[in-house]
Structure 1
Amino acid sequence: MREPVELRRQRIMAVVESRGAVKVSVLAAELDVSVVTVRRDVEELTRAGRLRRGHGVARPLRDPAVTGEMPAPRGSEQAGEGGAVAIVVPERHSYLYETLHGARTVLEESGIRIALHIAPQSAGAERPLVERALADGARGLLIAPRWRNALSEELDHGWLADVGVPTVLMERRPRPGSALHALDSVCSDHWYGTHLAVEHLVSLGHRRIVLAARDDSPTARTVRAAFAHIAAARPEVEDWTVVLSSPNAVPGPGPSGAEPAPGASPASVGPALDLAALLRERGATAAVLHGDVDALMLVQRLAENGVQVPRDCSVVAYDDVVAALGSTPLTAVAPPKAEIGRAAAELLLHRLSGAAGASGPVRRTELLPELKVRGSAQAVTPTTD
C-alpha cells in the first residue's frame, strides 16, 4: 500500500527543516519514490508556504545558507546550549513516523534543532547513523531501533548503552536484565492493547479467535505473546491460534536470518496466509490482525473467498495507521503514537535541562492504547438447528 501523500510530505518537511537545503534527487532516494513525485510534493509545499524551492533543491523557509543568520534557539536557557537532538527511526515505517512528528512538535516548540536520520532496512544500520550524529555534535538522542529479531537487539545493547549523551528509546521496551534495562524509554502498553482487542471480541460473543500477526518487530512480538497469554487465560475463549499475517513478516533479514516465528503455522510461512481456510478449519468467527496494511490485505482476500467482514468474520486491526481507510473501516487498537514521541521528547528535554533532578532515576513510561470501534466487528449470530 502506498504511503499517504500528507505523511510523505511531512517526511520531506522534517528532512529539509533538520538539514537545510536538500536536493530533490536525495529526497527521492531516501523516501524511495520517484524524483517526479518529490518535485510535485515540493511544488505543493512551496505553494502552501511551508518551504522554498530552488533549482533542484528544497529549502526551509528560513535558510541560514541564504540569510547568513543562525538564530539562537528559543528556550535555550532551559534546554542548555549545544548541538542538535538526533532522531533515528527506520525507513518506510509509517507507525514510527507518527511518533517522530510527536517528538518534533515538542522539540521545535522548545527551540531545539533536530537532526533526523532515517535508518535503512539493513541489519545494524542505526549504529553508523548515531556515530555520525555524535561526531556532528548531537547533544541528545531519540531512537526507535528496528530490532527485527532478538539478536539484532542484543547486538545494539553494548554501544547504545554507552553513547555518552542523554538517550531515550521510543516505542521500545528494553529486555529486563539487558544492558539497556537502565535506559530511559517511552512506549505503548501493547499487552493492554491486545487485551482491548480480545475483550471487545469476547464481549460480542466470539469464542474462537485467530491472531494473524507479524513477527518482525518488538511490537509484533509483544502482541503475539500477549495474545497467547490472554486467550489461554480467558475461560470464554474455546479455541485460539497464532499465525503469521504475511509471508514477509518474519524476523529476517537480519543477523539471525529469517526463521519462522515460534508457534507459527507452517502453512503461513512462504505462501500467503489463506485466512478464509484457517477460519473454516478452526471454526473461528473473529480475527485480530497486526499490522494495518496486512489487515487490509487479509480482509480483501477474505472478500475474494466469499467471507464478508463483519457478517462472516469480525475483525480488529492493531496499529490504526490506515485501518480506517479500507472499504470496510476496521475497528482497531490505536497505540498513542504521537503521544509516545511527545513524552519521549519531554523526557529528553528534562535530561538536557540541567535542572535539579535532571539526572535522577531512570524512567520507563508506558502509555495505554485505545480501541477505535468502527463496525468491522459485530455480535455472533446464534445458529439454529
Structure 2
Amino acid sequence: MSDDAKPVFGIARRERIMDELRLHGAVRVADLAREFEVSELTIRRDIGELADRGLVTRVHGGATLRSRLDTTVTPRAVSAPRYRVGMVVPSLSYYWPQVVIGARAAATEVGVQLVLRGASYEAADQRRQITSLVESGSIHGLIVAPENLGPDGHALLTWLEQLPLPVVLVERRTPSSLALTSLEWVTTDHVFGGYLAASHLATLGHRSVGILASAQSPTSWQLRRGWSQAVAELGLTQTLDLNASLDDMEGPERADFVGALLDQLRETGTSAMLIHSDPQALLVQQNALDRGWALPEDLSIIAYDDEVAENGSPSITALRPPKQHVGRRAVEVMLARLTEGAGRPVERVQVVPTLHPRESTAAV
C-alpha cells in the first residue's frame, strides 16, 4: 500500500502535524512516521510543504513551530481577525488546557481572535468574568463552560440565554426543565462513556462492579446515568455507588475514606470499578497496592478523563473525552452562528469518548 493510500491522507496528515506542533512545540520525523504509518520521506515532504508556506521551521530530524529567526520564507501578512470571541473556562490546569488548545487551533485557521479567561468553578466568579468580556464591547460571541447545577447554575444559564450575543457552551449543557432554546453547545457524550465503561468490564467477565465519581462535578451525573443503564441491561450487580472529592480532603480523612472503600470492596466481592477522575483512580490504586493487593487480579480499575491515568502502576485503563476536538467544534459552531445569523437552527453537538485499554483491567 502506498503512503498516499494509508489511513491518514495528505491534508489531514499535515493538519495533525500542526496539531502536534501546537501541543508540543516540536516534532520528530521518525515519531510521526511511526504514528501515521507512513514513510519518513512522506513526513519530510509534509514538513517541507508546511515550511514553504511559512507555517513551520525545518530542523534536523523534524520541525518546530515557525521561528522568528527563520528567514527562509517571507511570512504571510496577518489579516485582522474576522471576529473576537471570548472564552471562559473554570480551570487552566486540569482537563481544560486540551480544550483550549483545540479552540485556539481552530480559531487561528478561520481568522477568529480568541480572548481567554480562566475562572473558578463558582457561578459568581464565572459571571464576573463573562460580564467583563461582554461590557468590553469588543466581543462578538462567547464560548463558556458555566456552572450548570443547582439554583446558582440554573440562574447563570438563564442569564446567558438573555445576553445580546451568541453563546456556545463547551462540555456543558442546559437541563431540559429550563426550556432554554438559544444556547448552543458542544460536549462529550459522557452518558455513553459511562455505558462504555460498564460494557468493557462486562466483556472481561466482571459481574460485581462499583462506581466512585467526583462530588459536584457536572460530568458525574452523566457518567452515572450511562453506567446505571449498562449495569441493568448487562445483568451486572452494583455493589457501591459513591461521590467524593478526595483532593479536597485532609490526609487522615482521605486515608480513612479510601480504607473504608477498600474494605467495602473486599466485603462485597467487587472485582472492578469506574472511578472519575484520574487523580481519584490513582489514589485508590496506590492505597490498594499499599495494602498488598494484587492489581488488576484483586481489582480492575477504569478511570475517566485520561489526563494522567497512563502514569499509574499498573497503567490505568481510561475513557478519554476528545477534548481538543470539543474545543475545535465549539469554535466552528460559533463561527457558523456569527456568519449565518439568527436564522441558523440551534446546534447541539455530542462527541463520543474513546476507551484506552491498559494494564489495570483484566479478565476475571
TM-score class normalised by the smaller sequence: 0.7 to 0.9
Query: 1:228 maps to which residue?
Result: 228
CA distance in 1, matches of 2:152, 2:66: 38
Runs (4+) of structure 1 exceeding 6 A deviation are 48-52
Pick one of 301, 306, 312 that aligns with 2:292: 306
Query: 1:272 maps to which residue?
Result: 257
Contact 1:103 / 1:345 at 8 angstroms: preserved in 2? yes
**For residue 145 of structure 1, what is the amino acid of its counterpart?**
P
1:140 corresponds to 2:125: no
Q: CA deviation at 1:158?
A: 2.3
Query: 2:177 maps to which residue?
Result: 177
Query: 1:281 maps to which residue?
Result: 267
Deviates more, 1:341-350 or 1:115-124: 115-124
Pair 332,210 (structure 1): closer, same or farther in 2 beyond 3 Å: same
CA distance in 1, matches of 2:181, 2:231: 28
CA distance in 2, matches of 1:224, 1:239: 11
**SS of the counterpart of 1:310?**
coil
Pair 298,135 (structure 1): closer, same or farther in 2 beyond 3 Å: same
CA distance in 2, matches of 1:161, 1:270: 43
Deviates more, 1:183-192 or 1:222-231: 222-231
Pair 183,284 (structure 1): closer, same or farther in 2 beyond 3 Å: same
Query: 2:41 maps to which residue?
Result: none
CA distance in 2, matches of 1:163, 1:339: 26
Q: CA deviation at 1:296?
A: 0.9
* Superposed CA offset, 1:314-343 (max 9, x none): 111111111112232111111111111111
1:196 corresponds to 2:199: no
Query: 1:347 maps to which residue?
Result: 333
Contact 1:158 / 1:179 at 8 angstroms: preserved in 2? no
CA distance in 1, matches of 2:225, 2:64: 47
CA distance in 1, matches of 2:233, 2:255: 31
Contact 2:147 / 2:156 at 8 angstroms: preserved in 1? no
Pick one of 326, 334, 340 that aligns with 2:320: 334
**For residue 241 of structure 1, what is the amino acid of its counterpart?**
L
Contact 2:316 / 2:358 at 8 angstroms: preserved in 1? yes
Within 5 Å, give how 1:1-385 maps onto structure 2. 72-73=79-80, 76=82, 82=83, 84-136=84-136, 137-147=138-148, 149-235=149-235, 237-247=236-246, 271-274=256-259, 275-354=261-340, 359-380=343-364
Contact 2:193 / 2:226 at 8 angstroms: preserved in 1? no
Contact 1:334 / 1:372 at 8 angstroms: preserved in 2? yes
Q: CA deviation at 1:51?
A: 11
Pair 213,133 (structure 1): closer, same or farther in 2 beyond 3 Å: same
The TM-score normalised by the length of structure 2 is: 0.73
**For residue 376 of structure 1, what is the amino acid of its counterpart?**
S
CA distance in 2, matches of 1:335, 1:156: 25
**For residue 112 of structure 2, what is the amino acid of its counterpart?**
I
**For residue 257 of structure 2, what is the amino acid of its counterpart?**
A
**SS of the counterpart of 1:91?**
coil
CA distance in 1, matches of 2:232, 2:93: 31
Pair 181,231 (structure 1): closer, same or farther in 2 beyond 3 Å: farther
Contact 1:175 / 1:181 at 8 angstroms: preserved in 2? no
CA distance in 1, matches of 2:343, 2:94: 33
* Superposed CA offset, 1:135-176 (max 9, x none): 2211111001244x4223212122111121111000112111
CA distance in 1, matches of 2:64, 2:238: 56
Pair 222,141 (structure 1): closer, same or farther in 2 beyond 3 Å: same
CA RMSD of aligned residues (A): 2.8
**SS of the counterpart of 1:287?**
strand
Q: How many residues align?
A: 293
Q: CA deviation at 1:117?
A: 0.8
Pair 365,144 (structure 1): closer, same or farther in 2 beyond 3 Å: same
Contact 1:174 / 1:181 at 8 angstroms: preserved in 2? no
Q: CA deviation at 1:104?
A: 1.1
The TM-score normalised by the length of structure 1 is: 0.69
Pair 139,245 (structure 1): closer, same or farther in 2 beyond 3 Å: same
Contact 1:185 / 1:365 at 8 angstroms: preserved in 2? yes
* Superposed CA offset, 1:175-212 (max 9, x none): 11315354111111111111111011011110000101
Contact 1:213 / 1:245 at 8 angstroms: preserved in 2? yes
Pair 134,239 (structure 1): closer, same or farther in 2 beyond 3 Å: closer
* Superposed CA offset, 1:267-295 (max 9, x none): x9995332321211211011111001111
**SS of the counterpart of 2:163?**
coil
Q: CA deviation at 1:71?
A: 5.2
* Superposed CA offset, 1:57-104 (max 9, x none): xxxx7xxxxxxxx95336x3xxxxx5x210000125521221121111
Q: Which has the higher helix share?
A: 2
